[in-house]
Homo-oligomer: A and B are copies of this chain.
């Protein structure tokens, strides 16, 4: 058995527009867009949405703007296997982050638990 839940929504923005996007989304939701100390390509809007991480990710200048979501789990390999069995295709892996493309074409990442453990335990679903 393992567990998973929706961890976050990320606003992937070509690098030249990332500052403007950070300022815009900060205005939309309220909190400032603060660069992550060890991952400055992420500007996180802490507390923007209860129970959901929200951030702007700076991506390659020639990549198209997109949203992506992260699924957090207490077993990355089992969750990745579950989602690929459901039809997703793994297209990238970086450390513990597995990037999948869903049927229909959308991007999602599977990552280890990042939330406060109390939140994860309260909201994650359990899979056989």
Contact = CB atoms under 8 A, between A and B. Distances in A.
A83 B28 contact: yes
Q: How many copies of the shown chain assemble into the complex?
A: 2
B105 A13 contact: yes
Contacts of A56: 104
Chain A interface secondary structure, helix, strand, loop or mixed?
mixed
Interface in A22-70: 23-25, 27-30, 48-52, 56, 64-69
Interface of A: 5-6, 9, 11, 13-14, 17-18, 20-21, 23-25, 27-30, 48-52, 56, 64-69, 71, 83, 86-88, 102-106, 108, 123, 125
9 contacts: A9-B67, A11-B106, A13-B104, A13-B106, A17-B104, A20-B87, A27-B87, A50-B123, A67-B67
